Chains A and B, each alone.
Chain A
Amino acid sequence: MTILVIAEHDNKALAPATLNTVAAAAKIGGDIHVLVAGQGAGAVAEAAAKIAGVSKVLNADNAAYAHQLPENVAPLAVELGKGYSHILAAATSNGKNILPRVAAALDVDQISEIISVVSADTFTRPIYAGNAIATVQSTAAIKVITVRATGFDPVAAEGGSAAIEAVGAAHDAGISSFVNEELAKSDRPELTAAKIVVSGGRGMQNGDNFKHLYALADKLGAAVGASRAAVDAGFVPNDMQVGQTGKIVAPQLYIAVGISGAIQHLAGMKDSKVIVAINKDEEAPIFQVADYGLVADLFEAVPELEKLV
């Protein structure tokens, strides 16, 4: 068995989710190859070659792959993937965008967002916003799978010494093109990889009040998230949304501030090790999953918390 992992990167650096995906591949067992499709992504290929457990890195360097448009990357993954038993990608917006296109081209069903490996052909994944866990078996010759990063502890980023092989194949479908990108700038840790996450909801009342959470987060070295209500109200940008349709996080500590705890939000954070809820409504459903609940006005509690930690 040989497993192909599609690397998540921005042409400059390898994203941490790749390490979790390689960890899932290691649980399946077999040789692990990593595909880096990009443009001028030599540093990414070198980083991928150092990942513990990776035996080969395929570096496809072409202008067509610069922005990882699925119309161009999927045919590459299909062409290379034919010799593999499994094709894996992280369940990031890129992975989710590209992999189903690969699966359909190979005429196999995909398994989305696995959280554990039962055996080489059987996996578990959450359904119904995490309210049920399905065990799914695949009989496909090539198993196409996206991996939920929070389900697997990352493998070591150093220690491997895989060979890097250049892949010449250029696929340019010519049906799509990149126009532009607006990325939110942040000095705080990345939401999905942070050890501590502080999230605000509708109770924050406005975007300005998020400064209280930023101050607390900076003191804790935490990332800041938000509920859908806070994003829809325009308090913060949508890439901060935690939930079924936003980011899935599982930090050591999740502090939910002014968040009621709808099913869709819980789906994104209920695997956190310790959950703290601060809400003035003691009936809020968030208290049903919180390890420590504090019924208080967040505008008093959060600044006090910031002082004490």
Chain B
Amino acid sequence: MKVLVAVKRVVDYNVKVRVKADNSGVDLANVKMSMNPFCEIAVEEAVRLKEKGVATEIVVVSIGPTTAQEQLRTALALGADRAILVESAEDLTSLAVAKLLKAVVDKEQPQLVILGKQAIDSDNNQTGQMLAALSGYGQGTFASKVEVSGDKVAVTREIDGGAQTVSLKLPAIVTTDLRLNEPRYASLPNIMKAKKKPLEVLTPDALGVSTASTNKTVKVEAPAARSAGIKVKSVAELVEKLKNEAKVI
């Protein structure tokens, strides 16, 4: 079966971002960008499904600026067969991305679509669910285990109190949680080979999708800073401070 994987180019997870002085957003100039960690897990899962003989083709798609080609090449080096970039310089909302992905799903007709559970920049946790709604497919969100058998997929999900397993009819949408797998690293020969794999570039207009949004970011501010704390010398002093100064125990 064909598996479609969505990946996002985001600020690297180790970077401590700074808010711009004019409060228009965070400063992303000259900041290291990477593939969103949850998307890496999604690519890894697709590659493992292919290694098990379940998946026959892996198509990886990204929606974003021209530079997102770097993340698509990374996915190709990890084992994806071909890539699609829907080029858009705008900052798109999850709904706009879901609509664009729906157009790609219509075109590619995958049996399984794997996304990350959330992007570490916007922290929305929406796109997979929205894509599932638009395509009318079942959704297995926050997946820690995915097992395809016949025309169904069993997804074990991380929920608040523990784990839950649901069975979905294929085609279906799965979003990855941290513990689904441990993503591999791309080897140098695979990075070289990935440069020759096909990468198609589309535009929202070509897909006939409007990316208009009902949300507007008014401003972005730095969170309130915590006042500096103190170091205590002993456990006894700590207990004394918690009891008498902070009064929390």
A176 CB contacts on chain B under 8 angstroms = 138-139, 166-169
Cα separation A165 to B75 with both chains bound (whole Å) = 51
Scoring A residues 173 to 202 as 1 if CB is less than 8 Å from chain B, else 0, what string do you get?
111111111111000000010001000000
Beta-carbon contact of A109 and B162 below 8 Å: no
| Cβ-based interface call for A232 (8 A) | yes
Most A CB within 10 A of own CB, among B123, B164, B239: B123
Binary flags per residue of A264-281, CB closer than 8 Å to B gives 1, else 0 = 100000100111100000
A235 within 8 A of B: no
Is A137 touching B130 in the complex (CB atoms < 8 A)? Answer: no
- Interface residues in A, total, Cβ within 8 A: 90
Contact partner of A96 (CB less than 8 A), chosen from B11, B13, B137, B141, is B141
Contact partner, A238, options B14, B117, B158, B214, Cβ 8 Å: B158
**Chain B residues with CB below 8 A from A252, complex form:** 248
Contact call B164/A128, Cβ cutoff below 8 A = no
Q: Is the CB of A103 within 8 A of B178?
A: no
- Pick from B93, B165, B236: contact of A179, CB under 8 Å: B165
| Cβ-based interface call for B177 (8 A) | yes
Residues of B within 8 A of A247 (CB): 160
B171's closest neighbor in chain A, by CB? A175
Tell me the complex Cα distance, A288–B157, Å.
Answer: 34
Among B168, B179, B213, which residue has its beta carbon within 8 angstroms of that of A232?
A: B179
Contact pick for A113, options B123, B159, B230, CB 8 Å: B123
Question: Roughly how many angstroms separate A70 CA and B129 CA in the complex, as a whole number?
Answer: 9
Chain A residues, Cβ within 8 Å of B169: 174-176
Does B134 belong to the interface (CB within 8 Å)? yes
Q: Hey, which chain B residues are within 8 Å of A96, CB to CB?
A: 125, 129, 141
Q: Is the CB of A109 within 8 A of B94?
A: yes
Question: Which residues of B in the span 91-137 have a Cβ within 8 Å of any Cβ on A?
Answer: 93-95, 98, 117-118, 120-134, 136-137
**When the two chains form their complex, are residues A104 and B95 in contact, meaning their CB atoms are under 8 A apart?**
yes
Is A74 on the interface with B (CB-CB < 8 A)?
A: yes
A245 touching B214 in the complex, CB below 8 Å, given contacts A104-B95, A128-B11, A184-B162: no
Residues from chain A with a CB closer than 8 A to the CB of B217 are: 134-137
- Interface segment, B63-71, B183-191, B199-207, B219-227? B219-227
Q: Are B161 and A184 in contact (CB under 8 A)?
A: yes
From B137, which residue of chain A is reached at the shortest CB distance? A175
A selection of 23 A-B contacts at a CB cut-off of 8 Å is A70-B141, A94-B160, A96-B125, A100-B128, A104-B130, A110-B94, A110-B124, A111-B215, A127-B220, A128-B123, A136-B215, A174-B169, A175-B169, A176-B166, A176-B167, A182-B164, A232-B178, A290-B229, A291-B226, A292-B231, A295-B231, A305-B238, A308-B239
Closest 8 CB pairs of A and B: A100-B129, A104-B130, A104-B133, A140-B214, A100-B126, A179-B165, A176-B138, A291-B229
